[in-house]
Amino acid sequence: MVEVRLETRCSKRYRFRARCGTSKLTVQYVKLMSNQCPLNGSRAVTFSTCFSGRMQSSRPPNWLPCRAIKDIPKLLTAALLCLTLSWPTAAATLEGQEFDDTIRLSNRDLRLNGLGVRKIFFIKAYVAALYLGERVGTSLEVAVMPGPKRLQLRMLQNAGPDDFTSALVSGIQKNTSDAEQVRLGDRIAQLQRTINRIGRTTKGDNITLDYLPEFGTRLAVNGVSQGQAIAGADFFDALLGIFAGDRPVDAMLKKGLLGQ
């Protein structure tokens, strides 16, 4: 959570305190008891809170001095500005799933390139998001772009490891040559072993496949890294080919990821 605090004193007895987080803004006036520290023996009252951009206000306590009440609009505006600057925004929503406009990966800001839904007949399996250093519209541009990349899957259905490994192998086979498959063989097996250890994924799980130039491809489920990173940009390119290659697993999913 990103948190910013504002604090000021309007008199010797009253102190304004604002605490801004990514999901909540709390505004307090603290009535100081004698000369005690406001964090030790003070009286505090929360008179205004902000949830998801909506203001819910109650009247300030009647023990506040007039000067303190006059300060409320100015200080509250400053706190709201602070909250706005610290609150991450969702750039797009698909199938009720929200995705951030930008993420931070390997000390670089990546932008959301596109979103798409993987459908198997009439079943929606997951929403996929592609993050790149800059937005592009073709598979070739994605492949040749340097730097870190992320493919993110938000599960809409439960799925077993066999579902992933079979789609993985067949997808890579469709988008690589025989010679490339031989070169990637050991690394594909490594990813299969990691997927089998993870086991079953459930609806709502968040799966990320990150390419980090210094390490390789890293798989994580709900923010927890799984297995060892798999070396080579060619391996991540082969994975991306499943979703956005010449023979993608889902043509509409590819169009979504490429922002077409």
Report the pLDDT value the prediction gives residue 164, as an integer from 0 to 100.
Answer: 87
Instruction: Please list the pLDDT of the chain residue by residue as tens digits (260 residues).
Output: 334 444 444 444 445 455 544 444 444 444 444 344 333 333 444 433 333 333 334 444 454 454 544 555 555 555 555 544 444 445 689 999 999 999 999 999 999 999 999 999 889 999 999 999 999 999 999 999 999 999 999 999 999 999 888 888 889 999 999 999 999 999 999 999 999 999 999 999 999 999 999 999 999 999 999 999 999 999 999 999 999 999 999 999 999 999 98
The partner residues of 28 in beta bridges, in order of sequence, read 17, 46
SS (H, E, C) 176-215: CCHHHHHHHHHHHHHHHHHHHHHCCECCCCEEEEEEECCC
Report the pLDDT value the prediction gives residue 70, as an integer from 0 to 100.
Answer: 53
CA–CA dist 147, 233 (Å, integer): 10
Report the pLDDT value the prediction gives residue 252, as an integer from 0 to 100.
Answer: 96
Report the pLDDT value the prediction gives residue 137, as an integer from 0 to 100.
Answer: 94
What torsion, rounded to 10 degrees, do the Cα atoms 158, 162, 165, 171 define? -80
Report the pLDDT value the prediction gives residue 25, as an integer from 0 to 100.
Answer: 45
E strand or H helix that includes residue 172: helix 161-175
Contacts of 120 (CB under 8 A, 6+ apart): none
Report the pLDDT value the prediction gives residue 230, as an integer from 0 to 100.
Answer: 97
DSSP string, 209-254: EEEETTTEEEEEETTEEEEEEE--HHHHHHHHHHHHSSS-S-HHHH
Task: State both tokens at 22.
Answer: 């990514």
Query: Angle 104-20-108 (CA atoms, 0-180°, nearest 5)?
Result: 10
Is residue 10 within 8 Å of 16, Cβ to Cβ?
yes
Is residue 149 within 8 Å of 236, Cβ to Cβ?
yes
Q: Which residue type sits at 257?
A: L
Q: Tokens 């800001």 belong to which residue?
A: 109
Domains in the chain: ranges and CATH: 4-86 (no CATH), 90-257 (3.50.70.10)
